[in-house]
A = this chain, B = another copy of it.
Amino acid sequence: MNQNELKEITSRDVDFAQWYTDICKKAELIDYSSIKGCMVIRPYGYAIWENIQKELDRRFKETGHENVAMPMFISESLLQKEKDHVEGFAPEVAWVTHGGNEELPERLCVRPTSETLFCEHYANIVKSYRDLPKLYNQWCSVVRWEKTTRPFLRSREFLWQEGHTVHRTSEEAKEETLKMLNIYADFCENILAIPVIKGEKTAKEKFAGAENTYTIEALMYNGIALQSATSHYFGDNFAKAFHMKFMDKDNQEKYMYQTSWGLSTRIIGAMIMTHSDDHGLVLPPHIAPMKVTVIPIGKNHTEVIDKSYEIAKNLKLEGISCTVDDSEKSPGYRFAEAEMRGIPVRIELGPRDLEKNTCILVRRDTLEKVEVSLEHVLEEVVKLLSDIQNSMYFRAKMRRDEMTKSATTLEEMKKLSEQENGFIKAYWCGNRTCEEKIKEETGITSRCIPFEEDNQEGICCVCGKKAEHLVYWGKQY
């Protein structure tokens, strides 16, 4: 790739979908494989996922969760045990019918999610209230046979974590459900710099088999909503279907209460579509595999190169990942490459800078340049990284808020949704027919009933009856 080829990405304002694909490819996050809908996650993309894993895994373990590995296969009969669950998933699973040359006595699906496997396991190992709670998580890949696929956002196989817990009481299980939603929200906002709306899904949009589904909803640059993580409260629905009983303190056999919660590589797509621009990827410093790149200018200028490595060494000693790009490519090409890869801070150092005992810091989010003294480069980089992290969040939040409108009638919703994508806040009576009417008329769906409700009374934007909830509506990925 020459510099032009590298820079040749579609503008996000011209063709957002193409721009997104260009970034995934040119920042070397993914490659396509010959299996439709299954992608290769390349080293740079995978390093981002590893950082996401590290951050989340630490939070899970700090809150008492343990990792396990369940089988990747679910027998057809096991999948069918919970009625709503099988209806939700059976149409989109991949079926294994043969092992070697032999047909299997019962076909197996590749897990689309692992509730059924965890249920079977918990029924096996939990006997008494002393065995509760069990707070398990697993990092794995799952398969859903989607018709249309896009890197990270919707692929037939994707990586994720799925937490599955069982509890003695419904209160405890409900508390867990919300605790994990809050961990996701905190992670998205503070690490990925993605502002989210926390809320509950309507009955129509909830997970197959759940009593309640909670979600964090983010708004992408183009105004399309993205469900970024979900947390489900199952009550004892699965417990009844899978005979998951335990002996309680009062010597009564009772059903366990259950939750599950998950976040997937989809979140990488969310991060791209929240922050990136026409120069390529923009990564929040907290998740960037490489926080700083030093680019020496002036061919074979030994002192410049030595100084570049010295700066990198000092940054690394402070725990800031840093690389030196002293390859033979032109400075312009190296700048463009660092921008494409979304490295948060670029340090440019040339012979004239060195004479002045200065260097140039370029922040990736705004591309602003600032000259700093070489003596203070470390402090300046630390400050700049922190500033980038905060600015990215606030810029995204401001944009999200600007793209959030209110409507009081279906007519208004229609008009708003035709003008521009974004969240629409509107009151709703709680009736499914009104919810479906909105979808029919506007194409948008309920995203969530936000936790932070206003205290106003409202009337349903469709039927005009007294509203039960204020709801966020929007188009979704």
Contacts and interface: CB of A to CB of B under 8 A. Distances in A.
Interface of A: 31, 33-35, 38-43, 46-47, 49-50, 66-75, 78, 90-101, 108, 110, 117, 120-121, 124-125, 136, 140-141, 143, 145, 156-157, 159
Contacts of A140: 141
A71 B101 contact: no
B97 A98 contact: yes
Given A31-B121, A40-B121, A101-B91, A141 B78 contact: no
Given A31-B121, A100-B145, A110-B110, A157 B72 contact: yes
A173 to B, nearest CB: 19
Nearest 7 pairs of A and B residues by beta carbon: A38-B71, A99-B145, A43-B66, A41-B69, A95-B98, A97-B97, A94-B96
Contacts of A74: 35
A160 to B, nearest CB: 12
Nearest to A44: B66
Contact of A68 (B40, B68, B120, B145): B40
Nearest to A71: B38
Given A72-B157, A95-B99, 8 more contacts: A31-B125, A34-B120, A46-B69, A90-B100, A91-B101, A93-B99, A95-B97, A99-B156
Nearest to A69: B41
B136 A71 contact: no
Nearest to A92: B100
Contacts of A96: 94-97, 110
Given A33-B70, A71-B35, A95-B96, A43 B145 contact: no
A141 B71 CA distance: 9
Most B C-beta atoms less than 10 A away, residue of A73, A141, A159: A73
Contacts of A31: 121, 124-125
Contacts of A41: 68-69
Nearest to A141: B72
B100 A91 contact: yes
Nearest to A93: B100
A69 B159 contact: yes
A75 B74 CA distance: 21
29 contacts: A31-B121, A33-B117, A33-B121, A34-B75, A35-B71, A38-B71, A38-B72, A40-B70, A42-B68, A42-B125, A43-B68, A43-B136, A46-B66, A46-B69, A47-B67, A72-B110, A72-B143, A73-B94, A73-B157, A93-B100, A94-B96, A94-B98, A94-B99, A95-B96, A95-B97, A95-B98, A96-B97, A110-B110, A140-B141
Contacts of A40: 68-71, 117, 121
Contacts of A108: 35, 94
A92 B38 CA distance: 23
Contacts of A97: 95-98
A43 B70 contact: no
Contacts of A98: 94-95, 97
A43 B91 CA distance: 32
Contacts of A91: 100-101
Contacts of A73: 35, 38, 94, 157
A139 B372 CA distance: 42
Contacts of A159: 69
Contacts of A94: 73, 96, 98-99, 108
Contacts of A47: 66-67
Given A95-B98, A100-B91, A71 B120 contact: no
A120 B39 CA distance: 12
Contacts of A125: 31, 42
Contacts of A33: 70-71, 117, 120-121
Contacts of A99: 92-95, 145, 156
A47 B33 CA distance: 32
A3 to B, nearest CB: 16
Contacts of A78: 34
Most B C-beta atoms less than 10 A away, residue of A38, A72, A101, A121: A72
Contacts of A43: 66-68, 136
Contacts of A39: 71
A199 to B, nearest CB: 30
Contacts of A156: 99
